[in-house]
């Protein structure tokens, strides 16, 4: 196996190469069947599976950043279904993406939360004469998990903005955990949830409609919060909601 630094460099080079190739495609022309197959079978799916299996956080973050760059560079709606072979089931690359990104988001946030809880426990023990907290390692660990979660969030945002069918997978797999996340104590977690829900509202207002009333109420509550990680995306969400079908009336009513 290659070293972590080589894995990071390689995936960054691949992303840059793909972005350059996509820039050379004829503007407005639909991608060929060969290009679409390559984007799904040889690029999107293998990269998602590599992200899922990658044990080192810094490499996984680099892979997520590369995936996001590739998704935004590809022609819209390039990623989708792959027909299976004689002994293979069909695969939906967007569904795999939803599964992998949800897994990375939830895992990163869980580890981030565990680090802070462990620090709080050690702080309490230290104040009673227990062992000192290794603050530097805790700080480094939390920063690593924050960067990982941010990279995964950006990848979700990229898919929502460029691949219309992804919104349905987002609704099925991510809306419920994100709604729970909006009740978390930390501004980081609330801010991530609000940004992703805002993107979902923009990507498919029709799918979002059942959540509109409760979400607008939550946004108005967050705007009164003094945490900048929550206030800015909540204010942006209210602006998006006013332009969505029924959203303006819900905002005015709330």
Q: For 53-96, what is each residue's pLDDT tens digit?
A: 999 999 999 999 999 999 999 999 999 988 766 677 788 999 99
Tokens of 235: 């204010």
**Does pTM surpass 0.85?**
yes
| pLDDT of res. 128 | 56
Q: How do residues 154-202 score in pLDDT, each as one tens digit?
A: 999 999 999 999 999 999 999 999 999 998 888 889 999 999 999 999 9
Handedness of CA 21, 22, 24, 30 (dihedral sign): positive
pLDDT, mean of residues 112-129: 71
Quick count: other Cβ atoms within 10 Å of Cβ 42?
A: 10
pLDDT confidence of residue 132: 53
User: How far is Cα 188 from Cα 233, in angstroms, rounded to an integer?
Assistant: 11
Compute CA distances 161 → 64, 110, 134, 204, whole Å: 16, 26, 41, 10
- Position 97 pLDDT exceeds 90: yes
Does residue 31 surpass a pLDDT of 80?
yes
* pLDDT value for 86: 65
């Amino acid at each position: 196996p290659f070293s972590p630094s080589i894995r990071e460099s390689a995936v960054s080079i691949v992303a840059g190469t793909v972005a350059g190739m996509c820039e050379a495609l004829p503007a407005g022309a639909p991608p060929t069947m060969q290009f679409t197959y390559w984007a799904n079978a040889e690029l999107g799916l293998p990269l998602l599976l590599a992200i899922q299996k990658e044990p080192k956080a810094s490499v996984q973050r680099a892979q997520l950043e590369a995936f996001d760059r590739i998704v935004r560079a590809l022609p819209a709606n390039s990623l989708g279904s792959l027909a299976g072979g004689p002994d293979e089931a069909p695969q939906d690359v967007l569904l795999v993406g939803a599964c992998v990104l949800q897994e990375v988001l939830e895992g990163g946030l869980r580890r981030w939360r565990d680090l802070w809880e462990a620090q709080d426990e050690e702080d309490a023990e230290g104040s009673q004469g227990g062992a000192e907290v290794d603050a530097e390692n805790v700080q480094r660990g939390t920063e690593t998990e924050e960067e990982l979660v941010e990279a995964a969030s950006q990848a979700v945002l990229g898919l929502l903005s460029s691949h219309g069918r992804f919104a349905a997978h987002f609704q099925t797999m991510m809306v419920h955990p994100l709604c729970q996340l909006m009740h978390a104590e930390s501004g980081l977690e609330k801010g991530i949830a609000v940004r992703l829900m805002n993107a979902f509202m923009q990507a498919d207002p029709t799918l979002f409609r059942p959540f509109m009333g409760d979400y607008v109420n939550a946004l108005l509550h967050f705007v009164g919060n003094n945490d900048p990680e929550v206030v800015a995306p909540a204010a942006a969400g209210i602006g998006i909601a006013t332009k969505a079908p029924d959203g303006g009336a819900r905002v005015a009513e709330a």
